[in-house]
Structure 1
Amino acid sequence: MSGSQTARPTFNDDLFAAIRRLMAPLRAAPWWLKVTLLYAAARLVSFLILAGAAWHAGASPWGGDRPDYLTFINRWDAGWYERIFNGGYPTSIPRNADGTAQPNQWAFYPLFPLLARGLNSVTGLPWMVAGPLVATVAGFAAALMIYVLFRRFASPTTALWGVAFFAMFPIAPILQVAYAESLSTFLLAAALYLLIRRRYWLAVPVVILLCLSRPAGVPFAAVVGIHLLLRWWRRRSEPFPVREMVSGVVLLVVSGFMAFAWMLVAWWVTGDRSAYTDTETAWRGTHLQLFLPWFNAGVKLVGPLWGPLLPVLLVGLAALYLNSHAVRRIGVDLTVWCGAYLLYLLAVLDPQSSTFRMMLPLFPLALAAAFISTSRAYRWSVLLMFTVLQIVWVVWLWQFTTINTGVSWPP
């Protein structure tokens, strides 16, 4: 046989060639169609994972063995949103005999259940359908908005991979259950996009809605403040017109006010000045303590000697990563947002199993992850890893399994 004879194609070669031919029309498709198909595929994967977990789920406070899909996802915070959907907020804070607040609806912001209620009024769909439907559509809007935002910094292909990482993130099933995360992510992406585009007036109503969906006003106000300071610092080389100064300051003031607006609403309705903060800390069993819970968690994990150093180590690692080349490529504003949000979590969050879900606003880091390498092997490996971690997250946290405290870890 001649050494120059061409090797015959294998079955795998034929298979990959057929796949490439099938995918060829998609390469020329408009960006919104690509994002739509990507998001639909991601939600199908999450549906299969959730449905599979439901098939193996035991009885819980929300239903019996092997609940159907809609029953299975209507638990944890979704149940609180359902109470708001059905009856609104209490006019007084329920309290224990020692005066501490009991868990109640005031810990949950109103925009998401209000949209579900509006859908119910128009279509008659019950909460079990309306809640997940609003969440899934909002997640789709978030995917589209995130692509538009990412295109400010990346090529179409890399931006699409960034959206893929977001849509398949380990806690991505939350985008299709009746939680407010998908809605707040859409509004956050829109607000960041408008800030970067310097459309400050347009950002004002978006920020108002954002702060009525999830508590994001404090870190967003910090980002706006740093953004304006940097523009002022560079005003000689980069014009900063007076009209933009005025609109930027208005956005800063609105963001700062909206950071506390829901607290004021809770105070006004209940007549209890600490209604919101007492409710937020009801699940902890303690009053609000800034930063301290992280050090306490460190002590519980690794002991009193090294425990207090654990949060310091986390801060150091976060600072190093935010200063990495891949993260710097997402731009100053998105990097500052990630840093401000992490600092906010460090200040107010009691670290627990829901911490994973609260990392979703760090979605700009999905683009940084796509910047790390253009290798298809790397990018597909990340998606595969995220899929496996989705299974871990759903099976570990979404199912109800009582632990030694008599309760379960919430997602």
Structure 2
Amino acid sequence: MPELQTRPRPVAPDPRAAWPRARALLAHAAPALAAYAAVRAVGLLVLALWAPAAGKDALHLLGGRWDSVWYQRIAEHGYGYTATLPDGGVHPDLAFFPLLPALERGLAAVTPFTVEGAGIAVAWSAGLLAAWGIFAVGARLRDRRTGVVLAALWGAYPTGFVQSMAYTETLFTACAAWSLYAVLKGRWVTAGALCVLAGLTRPTAAALIAALAVTAVTALVREHRTGDRHGLLRRNARMLLGVCLAPLGWLGYVVFVAVRQGGPFAYFDVQARWGNSIDGGRALAGFIAGLPLPAALGLCAALGLLGWLVVLCVRQRQPLPVLVYTVAVVVVSLIGSGYFGSRPRLMMPAFPLLLSPAVALAGIRTTARTAVALTFLALASAVYGAWTLLGSGPP
């Protein structure tokens, strides 16, 4: 009789085998993380030296003022607080998304950190994760050296000081960068899950949701046109699952606000009370028109530079999900009616805008010259950041 063939019993993965791979990935990204950390350290050092001279506490500026206070209040007491302004305006705390305060509360519960300290710790940790994701995207689109420079440039962004604050920018950018990287690697379920987290962090997640959806639809249409239509949806089941997952975080919070406030459009009413709505750019145009001529021309020049960076993204032929995400973040940041000063901060997660400058800097003949250029940018960002924090503060 022939010997029976038995299927080998599946072997459980050895958790120890994951450590060498994790160490290798960390070693690969180490130069980018070090460069980013160095850039942010310069910013913190300048602030620490300048703040006492201005009679202010640098740590309190990073974790205990402006939007940080709203997140900390939510972390400590949950939603339900409303501030009434002297002019009669009403600002409900439901305008702030829940992931950051949830992390602050959780970290403060298991560590000696106060909620304020936990917020700073989350932001700094998320900044490193964001730099890692930005490096991963840059290295995949170009090469490792470009990825390192891209991460450093993002740290030296003009409003990069916000990355050191208990704000949501680093947390959102970390989710977005790794979600885009997952799409580029074809890991759609992971991309969708990260998009859920992004949607619980900031409303800007709409740009990431759009990037995944447009990419998926384009892939399906392209495959359909090839004539291989049999089993189209089955073959792309994981992609479709990722796209279906993507909006659940953002939608979940919008539904939460709707149920809490008793109206289907309550979230948009909350944002309108804060002066945040889509007006197609009228507020931006009105702001520019009200400036003195030199300032208006300077702002128009800055917007022109922004448009040129978007054009460069297109000319670089950046992958569709990266390009859609970048353009959507820029557009959403410009067509809102909110305070103008917040717009550069809102655009900070659009890190692919910096890919063209990163390629140019990475192409400098010697590493020393690239380092000098990055050092100059880090110092400029640090001085501007300290001056802003010690003055009017972040918008």
User: Which one of 233, 244, 252 corresponds to residue 243 of structure 2?
Assistant: 252
- Between the aligned partners of 1:56 and 1:89, the Cα distance in structure 2 is 37
Q: Could you list the runs of 5+ residues in structure 1 that have no partner in the other structure?
A: 1-28, 58-64, 401-407
Instruction: Name the amino acid aligned to 1:178.
Output: A
Matched with 1:192 is: 180
Kept in 2: contact 1:322–1:328 (CA 8 A): no
Give 1:208 shift. Answer: 0.9
- Between the aligned partners of 1:325 and 1:181, the Cα distance in structure 2 is 22
Deviates more, 1:37-46 or 1:245-254: 245-254
Matched with 2:101 is: 113
- Between the aligned partners of 1:47 and 1:348, the Cα distance in structure 2 is 31
Residue aligned with 2:267, SS:
helix
Deviates more, 1:160-169 or 1:287-296: 287-296
Matched with 1:49 is: 46
Kept in 1: contact 2:40–2:164 (CA 8 A): yes
Residue deviations 1:150-178 (CA, integer Å, cap 9, x gap): 22112211211111111222222222221
Q: In the superposition, relative to structure 1, how do residues 258 and 147 fare at CA in structure 2: closer, same or farther (>3 Å)?
A: same
Give 1:183 shift. Answer: 0.8
Matched with 1:21 is: none
Matched with 1:268 is: 259
Residue deviations 1:299-327 (CA, integer Å, cap 9, x gap): 21368xxx8xx98x987765543232786
Matched with 2:127 is: 139
User: Which one of 54, 79, 83 corresponds to residue 69 of structure 2?
Assistant: 79
Matched with 2:273 is: 282
Residue aligned with 1:169, SS:
coil
Q: In the superposition, relative to structure 1, how do residues 383 and 189 fare at CA in structure 2: closer, same or farther (>3 Å)?
A: same
Q: In the superposition, relative to structure 1, how do residues 271 and 110 fare at CA in structure 2: closer, same or farther (>3 Å)?
A: same
Give 1:246 shift. Answer: 3.5
Matched with 2:34 is: 37
How many residues align? The count is 360
Matched with 1:8 is: none
Q: In the superposition, relative to structure 1, how do residues 349 and 185 fare at CA in structure 2: closer, same or farther (>3 Å)?
A: farther
Instruction: Name the amino acid aligned to 2:69.
Output: G
Instruction: Name the amino acid aligned to 1:410.
Output: P
Kept in 2: contact 1:277–1:288 (CA 8 A): no
Instruction: Name the amino acid aligned to 1:185.
Output: T
Give 1:118 shift. Answer: 0.7
Give 1:187 shift. Answer: 0.4
Q: In the superposition, relative to structure 1, how do residues 399 and 224 fare at CA in structure 2: closer, same or farther (>3 Å)?
A: same
Give 1:135 shift. Answer: 0.8
Give 1:225 shift. Answer: 2.6
2:287 pairs with 1:297: yes
Residue aligned with 1:214, SS:
coil
- Trace 1:179-218 onto structure 2 (pairs within 5 A): 179-218=167-206
User: Which one of 315, 325, 332 corresponds to residue 344 of structure 1?
Assistant: 332
Give 1:212 shift. Answer: 0.5
2:363 pairs with 1:372: no
- Between the aligned partners of 1:387 and 1:238, the Cα distance in structure 2 is 56
Residue aligned with 2:273, SS:
coil
Instruction: Name the amino acid aligned to 1:228.
Output: A
Give 1:347 shift. Answer: 2.7
Instruction: Name the amino acid aligned to 2:151.
Output: V
Residue aligned with 2:135, SS:
helix
Give 1:238 shift. Answer: 11
Deviates more, 1:322-331 or 1:364-373: 322-331
User: Which one of 122, 127, 136 corresponds to residue 148 of structure 1?
Assistant: 136
- Between the aligned partners of 1:143 and 1:237, the Cα distance in structure 2 is 38
- Between the aligned partners of 1:269 and 1:30, the Cα distance in structure 2 is 47
- Between the aligned partners of 2:227 and 2:383, the Cα distance in structure 1 is 48
Matched with 2:22 is: none
Residue deviations 1:173-208 (CA, integer Å, cap 9, x gap): 222221111111110111111122222222222111
- Between the aligned partners of 1:317 and 1:38, the Cα distance in structure 2 is 25
Kept in 1: contact 2:257–2:266 (CA 8 A): yes
Kept in 1: contact 2:191–2:242 (CA 8 A): yes
Kept in 2: contact 1:183–1:213 (CA 8 A): yes
Q: In the superposition, relative to structure 1, how do residues 293 and 379 fare at CA in structure 2: closer, same or farther (>3 Å)?
A: farther
Q: In the superposition, relative to structure 1, how do residues 200 and 326 fare at CA in structure 2: closer, same or farther (>3 Å)?
A: closer
Q: In the superposition, relative to structure 1, how do residues 96 and 274 fare at CA in structure 2: closer, same or farther (>3 Å)?
A: farther
Residue aligned with 2:186, SS:
coil
Kept in 2: contact 1:142–1:187 (CA 8 A): yes
Q: In the superposition, relative to structure 1, how do residues 296 and 47 fare at CA in structure 2: closer, same or farther (>3 Å)?
A: same
- Which structure: greater helix fraction? 2
2:220 pairs with 1:232: yes
Residue aligned with 2:246, SS:
helix
Instruction: Name the amino acid aligned to 1:106.
Output: L
Give 1:210 shift. Answer: 0.6
Instruction: Name the amino acid aligned to 2:380.
Output: V
Higher RCO, Cα 8 Å, sep 6+:
2
Deviates more, 1:350-359 or 1:134-143: 350-359
Give 1:370 shift. Answer: 1.2
TM-score scaled by length of structure 2: 0.79
Residue aligned with 1:103, SS:
strand
Matched-pair identity in %: 25
- Between the aligned partners of 2:308 and 2:30, the Cα distance in structure 1 is 36
Matched with 2:377 is: 385
2:210 pairs with 1:222: yes
Q: In the superposition, relative to structure 1, how do residues 201 and 243 fare at CA in structure 2: closer, same or farther (>3 Å)?
A: farther
RMSD: 3.3
Q: In the superposition, relative to structure 1, how do residues 269 and 247 fare at CA in structure 2: closer, same or farther (>3 Å)?
A: same
